[in-house]
Each structure stands twice: as structure tokens, then as C-alpha cells.
Chain A
Amino acid sequence: NAGVTQTPKFQVLKTGQSMTLQCAQDMNHNSMYWYRQDPGMGLRLIYYSASEGTTDKGEVPNGYNVSRLNKREFSLRLESAAPSQTSVYFCASSERGSQPQHFGDGTRLSIL
């Protein structure tokens, strides 16, 4: 009964390195999302995919790219990491846009 699985759970990068955060869901959901959470702030939407084959920008897309690999998997890529991207990243999914979202346990990313 995994739900939404994110890998890795922790990662430390140097400025300028690239990295892909992986997310997979086993609930057959159509929509998937990437958020970041910073201290003192709520979760902010980076990108989302309303259905397989589509992606759209959220509130804070700059510096990120996404790929909806198939219905189960939605990855987030940092091409050239910057210290401002130090954050906790959450992936989520929902059956469709009008349903509540189910979250993974997050990836804690530090960029030095």
C-alpha cells in the first residue's frame, strides 16, 4: 500500500550540479504535482501534470523541468542547482483535478 513514493529521501548537491527527483504513484491517478516547502512558507506548486502527456507550470517553475514518463511516474529535474533551491520537495497525485491530492513523504535537498 505504497501510495506516492519519492526517491531519494535526502540529497546534498554542490552549486551547478544537476539532479532528478523521482516520483511514482500506484493509485492509477491521472494528475501529478511537484511542490516545494520552505521554512515559514506553505507548499508552493512548481509544476503539475493534469494527465499523462501534459505538463503545466505552477507558481515557481523557474530553474526546474519535469517529465511525465508514464501514468505512474513524474520526475523533477534541476539542471544547474542553486542554493536558493534548497528545500523540501513533495510529489503528489490525485485521481483527477477535482479530487484531494495524496502526498509522498518528501525529498530533503540541500545545495551548497
Chain B
Amino acid sequence: DQQVKQNSPSLSVQEGRISILNCDYTNSMFDYFLWYKKYPAEGPTFLISISSIKDKNEDGRFTVFLNKSAKHLSLHIVPSQPGDSAVYFCAASYGGATNKLIFGTGTLLAVQP
């Protein structure tokens, strides 16, 4: 049973445009959500997070939106750059701790120059 789902295995975007990566979850107990970025042959790198008490969090070009009623979160990257090309994982946890992160399957983003 996949509790965190990323239904788009891949996404291609032109440089300078917006990239929108989506993530759905089934467990209503989740209260903390994170996005990680992963380049080939490297470990995941933390990008941005959001608590369930918020519906939006921004950090530079990256914004995460949370829609609790729809159990949906999205990552917006504006403007997209070729260096953003990577696999993006969303992850979730509950109980206010990230000790047990549940990861989605990832979305491969390709930003075309």
C-alpha cells in the first residue's frame, strides 16, 4: 500500500518556465512533508519542507503548496534551470518527527535549455 504517491514518473520543462511536481498521500495522520532532490550516483538532498499547519512555504525559486483536504502537495520551481534536472522525491511523516519518513517513488525532471 503506497501511502505517498508521485503519479508522474517524469516531467520535461523548458528553461525559464515553471515546473510543477505533484504528490498525493493517503494517510491523514501525516503532518510534516518534505521534498528531496537527487542527482545520479548521489544521495538525496533536502530541498524544502512544510508543516500541516501551513498551506504554503517558499524558499527562493522553490515553493511547496499543501492542500490537506485533497491530501495533495506540490512543488513549484520558478524559473526552472537546467541544473534543476534531477529526480524529486516527496516524503511524509507524522507525530512531529521525521524518524519514519515515507517516500514517494520520485519524479524525474528534465529542464531543456
Contact = CB atoms under 8 A, between A and B. Distances in A.
Given A103-B43, A103-B44, A48 B99 contact: yes
A102 B38 CA distance: 12
- Interface SS of B by simple majority: loop
Given A100-B34, A100-B49, A43 B44 contact: yes
- Give the contact-size bracket for chain B: 20 to 34
Contacts of A44: 103
A99 B43 contact: no
B105 interface: yes
Interface in A31-62: 31, 33, 40-45, 48, 50, 56, 58-59
A97 B45 contact: no
Contacts of B30: none
B4 interface: yes
B33 to A, nearest CB: 11
A31 B41 CA distance: 24
A53 B5 CA distance: 34
A11 B32 CA distance: 35
B44 A90 contact: yes
B96 interface: yes
Interface of A: 4, 31, 33, 40-45, 48, 50, 56, 58-59, 90, 92, 94, 97-106
Interface of B: 4, 32, 34, 36, 41-46, 49, 89, 91, 96-106
28 contacts: A4-B43, A33-B99, A41-B105, A42-B91, A42-B105, A43-B44, A48-B99, A50-B99, A56-B99, A90-B43, A92-B43, A94-B98, A97-B98, A98-B32, A98-B96, A98-B97, A98-B98, A99-B98, A100-B34, A100-B46, A100-B49, A101-B46, A101-B101, A103-B45, A105-B41, A105-B42, A106-B42, A106-B43
